Structure 1
């Protein structure tokens, strides 16, 4: 399996083949204090639903956008570790219904949590000091007790920050997943160079998943 950066680079190359060239300048990463008020409140509601409290409130610091295109569009590539019960929770609110990836992503969360466990149940994938400050001490790796995985919760929260911006119309976002079917195979196999890319199918997928 290729690494995350390799997969992103491969996806960027395929988009470039389609004439979707990368931007010269990246927009800033999402931050709560720069979000529309309604979107920020939606993120805070999820933070509380995941077990965050006023006492554990810290600055939310998602990473930069995966792919930024010259036309201003953003593309996020979601790998195996993104699909689990906490991400499913982030897609339950009514405001998420309008997002073009919600139905597929809910299904992937239901069907592929074991793959998330195989990839992300150890070390910093499961918990870290910073994520435990946000959501409390972790359960043992792979155990979903009262605490579960603080890192998984943080990842779901940060994905929801991007979703909330898209739902508010603040960004033009497309999400694609390693589990997406692409010309008779999966996007994961294409990005790992284990299957040929179907450029037409990729163009259709990105268009269907764009806000």
Structure 2
């Protein structure tokens, strides 16, 4: 499991209360594990985002939460911007259960993707996409770290669409049983555990193993 924030911990507790059985950590997908067509789609997407390497070593981080039969990704503020919107509009992203809502979130909340710390760029992201532009400048190199995060999210989407995993994506901006998920995770509101589980399962993409 990647570095765990308070909201991921809260979500995990709620989903276990709803009856989902937690499983051990698992690393993210690798290109070599994807079918040929999906592997080619990821490489095309890398180029479309401005990738500069001939053979990039793409290594998405581990899954946020792992349960029996389903992986859950909780997408927080940094995941919504113009680059993620690009990845939602092609191949697996276009038909994913979360795609329409996520496209809206990318348009509405880009300013919350942030530039502090390594949010805008990082050494590994610049190796993949070239030098960054100044903050909030999207000509030229733009935001390499935003691009890297969008590409890695897309790789996980593609793995689910190919049936390698069963994935559910939910966002802090989603509304569950009339309550914004952010408020639920911060303890400012409650919903029945069954409502949260139903929402998570409605967002699943991939083979139910």
Same-fold call, TM cutoff 0.5: yes
Select 1:74's aligned residue among 66, 71, 74.
71
* Aligned residues of 1:79 and 1:177 also touching (Cα < 8 A): yes
- More displaced 10-residue stretch of structure 1: 33-42 or 189-198: 189-198
Aligned-pair CA distance for 1:156: 0.2
For 1:113 and 1:27, how far apart are their aligned partners in 2?
29
Does residue 167 (structure 1) correspond to residue 156 (structure 2)? The answer is: no
Using the size of structure 2 for normalisation, the TM-score is 0.91
5+ residue gaps, structure 2, are none
TM-superposed deviation, 1:184? 2.5
**Alignment-derived partner of residue 59 in structure 1:** 57
- CA offsets, 1:113-138, max 9 Å, x none? 1222xxx2123111111111111110
Give the Å deviation of 1:53.
2.8
In the TM superposition, what is the alpha-carbon distance from 1:192 to its structure 2 partner?
Answer: 1.7
* Structure 1 residue 26 displacement after superposition: 2.9
Given that 1:182 and 1:198 are in contact with CA atoms closer than 8 Å, whether structure 2 keeps it comes out as: no
CA contact (8 A) 2:92 2:157 kept: no
Q: Structure 1: where are the runs of 5+ without partners?
A: none
Q: 2:129 aligns with which of 120, 127, 135?
A: 135
Residue pair 1:122, 1:141 contacting (<8 A) in 2 also: no
TM-score with structure 1 setting the length: 0.90
CA RMSD between the two structures: 1.6
For residues 160-199 of structure 1, the aligned pairs below 5 Å read 160-199=154-193
Per the TM alignment, residue 174 of structure 1 is displaced from its structure 2 partner at its CA by 0.4
Q: What is the total number of aligned residue pairs between the two structures?
A: 203
